[in-house]
Amino acid sequence: MTMSFNVPTEYVQGFIKSGQQFWRAMAGLDANDSPQGDTHTTAEPPEALAAPAALLEAHSAYWPQLASVWTRTLASTMGAETEPVIAPKRGDRRFLAEDWRKNAWYSLLKQNYLLNARLLEDVVDAVVLNEKDKRKLEFFARQFIDSLSPANFAATNPEALKLAFESSGDSLRGGFTNLLGDLQRGTISITDETAYEVGHNVAASQGAVVFENDLFQLIQYAPLTDRVAKRPLVIVPPCINKYYILDLQPENSFVRFACEQGMTVFMVSWRNPDAVMAHTTWDDYVEQGALTAINVALAITRADQVNAVGWCVGGTILSSATAISRARGDDKVASITLLTTMLDFEEPGELGVLIDEAGVAQREGAIGRGGIYSGKELGFTFQTLRANDLIWPYVIENYLKGKSPPAFDLLYWNADSTNLPGPMYTSYLRNMYLENNLCKPGRLTMCGTPVDLGRIDTPTYVLATEEDHIVPWRSAYRSTQLVGGPTQFVLGASGHIAGVVNPASKNKRSFRASGDSSGDPDAWLASAETRPGSWWTHWIEWLKPSAGESVKARTRPGSARHKPIEPAPGRYVKVRTT
């Protein structure tokens, strides 16, 4: 018989509430004005239980190991060679300095921390809650554990202390200066932002803005081949970030790669919303955004159809637009490529932990009828999902050691956050993450048209990545069962960004393809072939049958109706969030 005992609900809920307040304080927000509102996801507080066997096992393992840490530390101070009782998990880079291994004091600090962290993880694991509250408890427990690492404090970080002594305190003074600067900016510096300039050494592919409205500019890129495919490639990037993740520098630019393969490329460059866009809706992004971009590209190239690419929420917008277009009787899209995109939000990954009915209702009341959701807050949310990669290393380097972060184009893009219009954002939260309406035929009406993803009868290329914490690959795989046309599912290595930006010229990483297409993601994984290199080359071969005939490349952008407005990358992408 399975036994359990009550864990006081107020302890669990209090921990979650404290975690949310800590998270918002780190983001520079009012800790009492939680974006998620009440932490309870039900009218009555969930009953928290814990299995005594699991708790007993956790404590039974903890105390002997703690005693062993102290006895081995004492032995090491007397010259004995000892092995650590516990080691960091694979990939944990916080304790790489030699002193964490060879200095008895720092080794003791590290092992005590790791043991206590594992004990807390085991206790949280033993608590029985509904899945939503359990994941929320695990998330905030992880934030708490990560924040208390001895590497995060000047007094217990051997590298920081050594540098302080060697520099006669200059490193600490520099760190304090860095901290004051970041407090003024309202964000943690993660790269040298002075090293890059949009349009100069990032987002530098040649082209022109050939259309604009209040929502986006459309960039047409200059051809890099004498002949091009008749059908243009229209890219709909996420509106949560700037488009130029797909056009960082020549050696890792997806835009340049597509142009080199003989494509006429059009890119949607979303406007960074300000007060003027406070009432912009999801429907506007679909109708005035994706559908308008497709129509303009067709008008300029005089092609019969376009091939379209959407990434993340851009893929969700593109899929919605294509389904609406087909419902209206239009056949303007020859193929769709979805890059790390969710259409079925049943398992939304770690972001789902932060979204519940109370929080969405609070957002709807605050900005759902008009307002702006801060890009800095959204950016910090994504950082917390990987705090040991995107927060604490920069706290240590910037503030404890007084160093300036190095230049890195991808992190420059990551720091270039964008706002979102309140009505669009809250609609996205409710209809996708909270109620998962998009994947249900006819449940949603967009732009006056019921949405059925099954109407998308074009060939669809679905790329997911193995380590994606924003779009879990199995969730992305479900898109193959929702659209009505033939699908090609590919699983790339790495995560949400690095798995997509994997230049063919570097021939790094790998991808899986050609698995079982019966609808079971695990069956697909078991049968898929692993292929070395970038998925880019696989994708371009898949795209060619939908590209249309080869025609002479046009050297002049735009047309008589859509004259060039300004050189790429245009004005919209250069507006930074303040």
Active-site residue, from 239, 259, 312, 439? 312
Residue position matching structure tokens 């009492």: 32
DSSP class of residue 100 equals: H
CA distance 286 to 291: 6
Tokens 């720092």 locate to 106
How many whole angstroms separate alpha carbon 125 and alpha carbon 179?
A: 36
d(CA 309, CA 352): 25
Spatial CA neighbour of 347 closest among 477, 475, 476:
475
> Which among 542, 488, 534 has a CA at the least distance from the CA of 515?
488
Residue 142 tokens, joined: 């992880």
Residue whose C-alpha is closest to residue 483's, from 517, 515, 509, 510: 517
Any idea which residue has 């795989």 for tokens? Answer: 477
DSSP class of residue 529 equals E
- DSSP secondary structure string for all residues of 531-577: EES-HHHHHHHHHGGGS--EEEPPSS-S-SSS---EETT-SGGGPPP
Does 259 qualify as catalytic in the annotation?
Answer: no
| Cα 196 to Cα 59: distance, rounded to the nearest angstrom | 51
Angle at 111 between CA 110 and CA 115, to 5 degrees: 120
What is the secondary structure of 355-410 as a DSSP string? --HHHHHHHHHHHTTS-EE-HHHHHHHHHHHTHHHHTHHHIIIIIIS-PPPPP-HH
- Which positions are catalytic? 312
